[in-house]
Structure 1
Amino acid sequence: MKGLLERLELLKNSDSITETAYAICRKTIQKFVSENEADQYTMLITHLAMALTRIEREQELLPPPTDIMMEVYQSPKMEEARGRVGWIEKLLNQNLPEEEKEFLYLHFVNVLSA
């Protein structure tokens, strides 16, 4: 987990992500990531940090491919993925744009299925 937190720190210190993104990602790691799962969560946490930064900086958002999302929506892990994204939205006190929710569903389904 140390490597995951160090990665976040590097992104924050290089101004690649915002303070808000950094704080939300740290809380997400504390809530959902165990020490032995940290490597599996690297892509998810990096995407979350960048997504929150794109939203805060009002940058363009693009959705994942539809065919991939059709698979994700059929996953038995989808309900838990929705719950985790909902938890992040509560932390933010706002709804995420659908494009970013879909990417987070994709990443959560992947780590929950591993």
Structure 2
Amino acid sequence: MKGLLERLEFLKNSDSITEKAYTICRKTIQKFVSENEADQYRMLIIHLAMALTRIERKQELIPPPTDIMMGVYRSPKMEEARGRVAWINQLLNNSLPEEEKEFLYLHFVNVLSA
């Protein structure tokens, strides 16, 4: 877990992610990531940090491929993934764009299925 938190700190200090993205990612780690799962969550947390930064900086958002998402939506882990994304969405003042929700569903389904 230490490595994941250090990576976030590095991204924040290098201005690659915003303070808000950093804070939400730390809260997400505290809520969902156990010490022995940190490596599995690395891609999800980094994607979340970058996605929240793109949203804040009003950068272009690109959705994941439709064929990949079809499989994600059929996953038995999708309901739990939706709940986790909804929790993250509540931390924001604005709603997550659908493109970013889909990427987070993808990442959560992958982590929860591992």
Please, what TM-score do these two structures have when normalized by structure 1? 0.99
**What is the one-letter code of the residue matched to 2:72?**
V
Match of 2:39 in 1: 39
Match of 2:18 in 1: 18
Q: Percent identity?
A: 88
User: Secondary structure of the equivalent of 1:6?
Assistant: helix
Give, in whole Å, the separation in 2 of the partners of 1:33 and 1:92.
Answer: 20
**Unaligned runs of at least 5 residues, structure 1:** none
User: Secondary structure of the equivalent of 1:103?
Assistant: helix
Match of 1:86 in 2: 86
Give, in whole Å, the separation in 2 of the partners of 1:95 and 1:67.
Answer: 25
Give the number of aligned pairs: 114
Give, in whole Å, the separation in 1 of the partners of 2:10 and 2:40.
Answer: 19
Q: Which moved more, 1:68-77 or 1:90-99?
A: 90-99
Q: Which moved more, 1:80-89 or 1:90-99?
A: 90-99
Give, in whole Å, the separation in 2 of the partners of 1:105 and 1:7.
Answer: 22
User: Secondary structure of the equivalent of 1:80?
Assistant: helix
Q: State the shift of 1:95 in Å.
A: 1.2
Give, in whole Å, the separation in 2 of the partners of 1:93 and 1:15.
Answer: 21
The Cα offsets for residues 58-91 of structure 1, whole Å up to 9 and x where unpaired, read as 0000000000000000000000000000000101
Match of 2:101 in 1: 101
Q: Which moved more, 1:71-80 or 1:86-95?
A: 86-95
RMSD: 0.4
Give, in whole Å, the separation in 1 of the partners of 2:82 and 2:90.
Answer: 12
Please, what TM-score do these two structures have when normalized by structure 2? 0.99
1:38-57 counterparts in 2 under 5 A? 38-57=38-57
Structure 1 stretches of 4+ with a deviation exceeding 4 A read none
**Unaligned runs of at least 5 residues, structure 2:** none
User: Secondary structure of the equivalent of 1:94?
Assistant: coil
Q: Which moved more, 1:87-96 or 1:6-15?
A: 87-96
